[in-house]
């Protein structure tokens, strides 16, 4: 009886700490997409104000995704040295600094500031789900679901506010004008607020080794060796390419849909609304599909359904009547959210143990985001060369076909071999 009372008392004491952690996860997640989705609705204005070419805008759209691939590998060694909570707090400050830099000098620091912000988001991408699994393992499913939801909320709000804020600030088309500066640095404030709300977590120092079943030194070796070993596994490549190609489609449409809709006669504010609708569809299925995937024997049918919705949404958005853009954009968002949920699920389900899952996730995210960064670049280049959206639309449809094939292969009920480190 005394043991039960002690356990109940410990749970009561732990609740405020759990609530603070969940609140911190929420504010972190909101900031992880807002800085990216707030700019595409304003690409025409930024092109005119900053006197940059369409190819430069394509590079600007690709930089965050490229940073996800390049800097995601830094998360594990930094967290081993300083602890996950402290690295996440520093990443929030770094995000705010990057956004402020490009706001202070739009002409000189636009690209360096975006690189700094992209590197910060890469660390948040990698470490936040890991921290949740280690700190609140019993509630990890709920908290990660909330994390994915708030990712989409941040993307939706930023898409909706971009044009109204730019207009309210004067809508200036001069580099350095208030409207340009505010649009480029708007989300530095929420990032700093999130850093303040994250301060209570800095008293913790969660290290990756603490939740693994093997000793710290061997765990580090297992993680490094396992990530390299994934390159020799066909299944690991199937998961990686599926994750990379579905992300390519998402970031290509995220970057260029507002411009495409505006060229077809849609107003700037309406184009931002359409981007928000796409992310709303993402939020719905990103939460639902992992639960369905967990209950299925394999995920091949789910992949087909998700990619049919994605392809139908692409066809309607690129080639359908503008009056039906709302419906096609929502359909596309539902398909994209489903493929994202499946991609994340695959990194866990295709591994037999947590250590191998970490290796597969590192391999898939590192290479997958590098692949995805080609999307904004390629679509922007093709539009610049052809002067229309027909070829970019056909290219994304071809990518969709490749994605469903890879998703079908990755959706089979198989696992990669476990990460093994030999002693001695």
Task: Give 398-417 pLDDT, tens digit per residue.
Answer: 999 999 999 999 999 898 88
Q: Check residues 86 and 136 and name the one with the higher pLDDT.
A: 86
193 and 270 together in one domain: no
Residue 330: pLDDT band (50, 70, 90) is very high
314 and 197 together in one domain: no
pLDDT at 215: 42
Are the CB atoms for 116 and 69 separated by under 8 Å?
no
Contacts of 183 (CB under 8 A, 6+ apart): 38, 39, 42, 45, 46, 162, 165, 166, 169
Closest CA to 195 of 146, 282, 124, 111: 124
pLDDT at 31: 92
pLDDT at 3: 44
Q: 61: domain range?
A: 22-201
Asked whether residue 381 is assigned to any structural domain, the reply reads yes
238 and 351 together in one domain: yes
Residue 247: pLDDT band (50, 70, 90) is very high
What is the count of structural domains for the chain? 2
368 and 228 together in one domain: yes
255 and 152 together in one domain: no
Name the percent of the chain lying above pLDDT 90.
42
Inform me whether the pLDDT recorded for 313 exceeds 80: yes
381 and 330 together in one domain: yes
Are the CB atoms for 190 and 92 separated by under 8 Å?
no
pLDDT at 210: 46
Asked whether residue 72 is assigned to any structural domain, the reply reads yes
268 and 343 together in one domain: yes
228 and 122 together in one domain: no
**Of how many residues is the chain composed?**
424
pLDDT tens-digit map of 357-386: 777 877 888 899 999 999 999 999 999 999
Q: What is the CATH number of the domain that holds 398?
A: 1.20.1250.20
Asked whether residue 215 is assigned to any structural domain, the reply reads no
pTM exceeds 0.75 for this model: yes
Asked whether residue 213 is assigned to any structural domain, the reply reads no
Name the percent of the chain lying above pLDDT 70.
88
Domain finish residue from 201, 234, 252: 201
Determine the average pLDDT of the residues in 247-274: 91
pLDDT tens-digit map of 97-114: 999 999 998 888 999 999
Asked whether residue 234 is assigned to any structural domain, the reply reads yes
pLDDT at 151: 86
Q: What is the mean pLDDT of the chain?
A: 84
Give the span between the Cα atoms of 276 and 152, in whole angstroms: 9
284 and 407 together in one domain: yes
Determine the average pLDDT of the residues in 419-423: 46
Closest CA to 80 of 196, 178, 189, 222: 222
236 and 186 together in one domain: no
242 and 375 together in one domain: yes
128 and 163 together in one domain: yes
């Amino acid at each position: 009886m005394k043991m039960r009372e002690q356990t109940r008392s410990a749970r009561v004491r732990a609740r405020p700490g759990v609530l603070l952690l969940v609140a911190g996860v929420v504010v972190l997640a909101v900031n992880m997409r807002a800085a990216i989705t707030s700019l595409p609705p304003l690409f025409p204005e930024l092109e005119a104000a900053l006197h940059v070419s369409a190819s430069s805008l394509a590079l600007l759209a690709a930089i965050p995704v490229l940073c996800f691939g390049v800097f995601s590998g830094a998360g594990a060694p930094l967290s081993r040295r300083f602890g996950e909570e402290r690295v996440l707090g520093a990443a929030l400050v770094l995000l705010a600094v990057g956004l402020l830099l490009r706001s202070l000098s739009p002409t000189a620091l636009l690209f360096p500031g975006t690189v700094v912000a992209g590197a910060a988001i890469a660390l948040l991408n990698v470490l936040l789900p890991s921290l949740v699994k280690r700190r609140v393992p019993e509630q990890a499913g709920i908290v990660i679901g909330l994390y994915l939801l708030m990712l989409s909320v941040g993307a939706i709000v930023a898409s909706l506010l971009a044009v109204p804020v730019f207009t309210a600030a004067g809508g200036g088309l001069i580099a350095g004008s208030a409207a340009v500066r505010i649009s480029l640095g708007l989300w530095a404030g929420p990032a700093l607020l999130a850093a303040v709300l994250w301060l209570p977590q800095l008293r913790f120092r969660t290290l990756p080794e603490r939740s693994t079943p093997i000793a710290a030194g061997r765990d580090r070796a297992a993680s490094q060796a396992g990530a390299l070993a994934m390159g020799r596994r066909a299944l690991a490549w199937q998961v990686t390419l599926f994750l990379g190609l579905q992300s390519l489609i998402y970031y290509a449409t995220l970057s260029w849909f507002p411009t495409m809709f505006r060229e077809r006669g849609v107003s700037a504010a309406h184009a931002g609304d359409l981007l928000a609708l796409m992310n709303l569809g993402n939020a719905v299925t990103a939460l639902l599909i992992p639960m369905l995937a967990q209950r299925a024997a394999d995920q091949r049918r789910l992949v087909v359904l998700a990619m049919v919705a994605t392809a139908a949404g692409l066809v309607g958005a690129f080639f359908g009547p503008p009056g039906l853009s709302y419906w096609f954009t929502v359909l596309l968002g539902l398909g994209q959210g489903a493929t994202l949920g499946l991609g994340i699920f695959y990194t866990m389900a295709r591994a037999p143990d947590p250590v191998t899952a970490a290796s597969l996730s590192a391999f898939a995210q590192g290479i997958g985001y590098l692949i995805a960064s080609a999307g904004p670049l390629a679509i922007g280049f093709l539009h610049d060369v052809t002067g229309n959206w027909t070829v970019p639309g056909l290219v994304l449809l071809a990518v969709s076909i490749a994605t469903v094939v890879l998703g079908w292969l990755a959706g089979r009920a198989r696992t990669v071999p476990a990460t093994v480190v030999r002693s001695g």
